[in-house]
Structure 1
Amino acid sequence: MGELKRWERAIEQFEQTLIAKVFGREPVEVLDALRRECDDHAVVCSHSRVVVPNVYVVELADDVHAEVDRNAESVGQELTDSLARHGEQKGYEWAGPLTVHITGSAHVPNGRYRVTCAPMPRIRADLLPEDGT
């Protein structure tokens, strides 16, 4: 069990280092904002079931997004992985497949970033049009 905890800490340290390199001064704030958004939108369905939204959007100020844009996919995946671990620790059930998208915006309220979330249910593959769109 101790070995597993050590690996988890090493992975979290790696993620925080990567995100710090990309976001610069505010990686912990963004991660905390994601976790807070998740916690704030948790819906208690029963004593053993808490459902949380599964789609999160991190809107960055345009200048920050321009710096992050070339690594947006890997940073988005790292943020998704970090949020997934947070949800696992809290015992949350996601409303569908978990994703974190990074976008740019000229209208973030604090001039740096904004985090929003929404539940997006699973989409059954047999209900998609034949052309896949």
Structure 2
Amino acid sequence: MSSLTGLERALERFGGSLLAQLRHKEPVELVEALRKECDDNTVVCSENRTVVPNAYDVELAEFAYEELERRGARVDQILTDSLLRHGQDRGYEWAGPLAVHVTRSRDVPNGRYRVASQVMQHVRADAFRL
């Protein structure tokens, strides 16, 4: 069981009621999915060097995205900060500048969200699409 950090509590504040509607899951489920995507795509280069993707795309169901947008939530930055801290805790090296981009989608397989990652040399959260 993971403890909530300040950033995750902020995510819960911004989207708590909304994300709770998503099949009554904890808001931290999205943060955990992002961390899992990172962990699942590690490349061990040496004993002291583990590289992970730096560009993450989070697609939210349309109603979830619209609610977060209406509330003015900066979920992309909250998720980026949370993932950065996770990588630091694990000793990961990012393949480039880290960014998490949050978009809306009509087609998410679980009805809530989809998380994907890739390596991009130059990335800004507002300028990429996986």
CA distance in 1, matches of 2:46, 2:68: 40
* TM-score, normalization by structure 1: 0.78
What is the aligned partner in structure 1 of residue 108 from structure 2? 108
CA distance in 2, matches of 1:86, 1:16: 12
Matches within 5 A, 1:53-132: 53-70=53-70, 71-72=72-73, 74-122=74-122
Aligned counterpart in structure 2 of residue 13 of structure 1, from 5, 9, 12: 5
* TM-score, normalization by structure 2: 0.79
Q: Is the contact between residue 8 and residue 82 of structure 2 (CA under 8 Å) also seen in structure 1?
A: no
Letter in 1 for 2:6: F
Root mean square deviation of aligned Cα: 1.7
The CA deviation at 1:117 is 0.5
- Which secondary structure state, in structure 2, belongs to the residue aligned with residue 111 of structure 1? coil
Identity of matched residues, %: 54
What is the aligned partner in structure 2 of residue 27 from structure 1? 27
The runs of 5 or more residues in structure 1 that have no matched partner are 1-8, 124-133
CA distance in 1, matches of 2:115, 2:39: 13
- Is the helix fraction higher in 1 or 2? 1
The runs of 5 or more residues in structure 2 that have no matched partner are 21-25, 124-130
Q: Runs of 4+ in structure 1 displaced over 6 angstroms?
A: none
Deviations 1:30-86 (A, max 9, x none): 0000000000000001111100000001100001010112435x2111110110000
Q: Is the contact between residue 22 and residue 67 of structure 1 (CA under 8 Å) also seen in structure 2?
A: no
